[in-house]
Structure 1
Amino acid sequence: MTRKYSPPRLIILPCLMMLFTLPAFAQLANCSGSFLENSGGLGVKVKKFCEGYDLDWSLDKNEAAFTGGNFCLIAYKGSDTATKCGDDDDERIMYDASINITGADPDDTSNGKFMLGGKIPVTIKLEGQPDDFYPGQTIDLPYTDGKCVCADTENQYNLIITVSKDKILKSGITTNSAVGNFRLNGFHELGSLNGSVGFQITLTLATGIQISGLEDMQLVENNGSASASQNFCVFALGTERFSLRANSEEGNGESFKLINSNDETLSYSMKVEDSNSKVENYAGNKNPIRGWKPSNQYLCSDHRAENMTLTVNVANTDSVSAGVYSDTMTLTVRPN
């Protein structure tokens, strides 16, 4: 009589672990960034400009964003200390101003974009203005009649700073923060009078890790043993190594086990390898193994370049009854 044998089947469930940092926003009250440039009775000034902007981001957020600052920019003719409009010695006549933003260092701009850490594009704009800033692009700020001092809200501006999730994930950054240094430049409509003040944007990234691409496995029997392999992805931000723990639902601390409907079991082992040639054999529900290298590409470039390989092996299938044997394996990853 020929015995009918059904190949063992292993089900693998991915686990997602994310660690988060607390948000840290800049204190915007009483910011001291300023400049005052005057020549030939003309003046251009910035007051109350914040020189540091902190944004935070974690994997559950679509973007890191900041709106605020409430700084003043005016261009005028007359007194630098005027409190009202007019052409007397202690008064001023208003003129149009303009503004642009430039990178302080070569890594702070790339391909017409502002950059953080030389890797992550950041969007900067003025609240209420339709267009984003681009490096060196100048935006005109027309004056309002009768509004001559920084206390007038018509002369006050907020920055909107945004970093999108997509740009962060595609950056390949492995550190927990990215910094960009920039300069805000203000101009007078008459002549070449201008002033400048530097500022910094810091993006803090929560350490995060994600496992994906795992599928159920159908083991293939061959000469008294059975095995199967698959590739999967472990992506991480803010860490260069991670630990991986394997837990068999039917197994124990000594071995992983497949089980059939009659409670007969088959022991199996699992070999894991990463793209850095680290290889480890797992057998039994034990402590996690550390030192694995994650991918710095989100979803491993849509799973075209998965960085992990898993191989399951059953050494002796002849010793058990025919039937379907299965187990649920859970893989848990954590940043080192």
Structure 2
Amino acid sequence: MRIATWNPGLTRDGPGLLLRDIGRDDPQVLAAAQVIAHAAPDAILLTGLDWDLEGRALTAFADLLEAAGHPMPHRHAGPPNTGLPTGRDMDGDGRLGRARDAQGYGAFRGQGGMAVLSRLPIAGVTDHTETLWRDMPGHRMPDSPHADIARLSTTAHWDVALTTPAGPLHLLAFSATPPAFEPRNIPRNHDEAAFWLDHLPDAPFAIIGNLNLDPADGDGDPAALTALLAVTQDPRPRGAWQPPQTGPNADHRGDPALDTAEYARAPGNLRLDYVLPAQGLRVLDAGVIWPAPGDPLAESVALASHRRLVWVDLDLK
């Protein structure tokens, strides 16, 4: 079974614009569909995909995948915290109704949400998205006048149980805030990852998503990632090619083959996206879709997103 995660860049500046672009065969949207069809996952978590109440954009994108020869008929996209208004000045800048005043950063409800697409049936979803940050045991939430409403999840936390021939496989899916831009984001990024330590199922699982944290480079506190690695295994997916390690990458300490995000300026390329199977699951293979220039897929990968798709093959027998 192949499971994958990717931020395909399917977010726009206003509600309804993603659906519009899918309907008019926007080249970036088509490139994203081509990359996913090439990877051919059995299940994929898409982060950075705008949510709408009726799921019309997700349905339209799934239709593109089917047309590309890779149908994924089962899907889940619950309402995210991104862009969810609070009515409060959450970032303390004296202004209301701005992107950083939402429960999760977003200029409109659902901007940059997430979704699971699967070839296998979804047996059920446990949704932790409404969990208050202050209610997480051992949280690092700074003192705040908004602790009564502030949620932990920037986007969402889902336990998605897939039905496989070998029994259920739980995808512990989330997309965390970057540990940058404002002080509260560093402890929030840590706690979004640490949340799963208290919510591991008594069944095969994989922690999957955009952790927005590189263990060796960039900002943030890797303590929660280190703790997750103690209860999972890291297949260390590698890309086929890496850009020259110059400019903002010149002083990086991490293995560039593990990077999943490309930034032309500081902080440079980083490993931000992960599939971490539980200990005891048999990993057959893993990779990052980062083809070399000249590869037939390279243009689509570059056009779709500055992120790279990560996949892991598991033997669930």
Answer with 1 or 2: which has the greater Rg: 1
Question: Which structure has greater helix proportion?
Answer: 2
Question: Considering the TM-score relative to the shorter chain, is it more than 0.5?
Answer: no
- Provide the TM-score with structure 2 as the length reference: 0.22
- Provide the TM-score with structure 1 as the length reference: 0.21
Question: Which structure has greater strand proportion?
Answer: 1
Structure scoring higher RCO (CA < 8 A, sep ≥ 6) equals 1
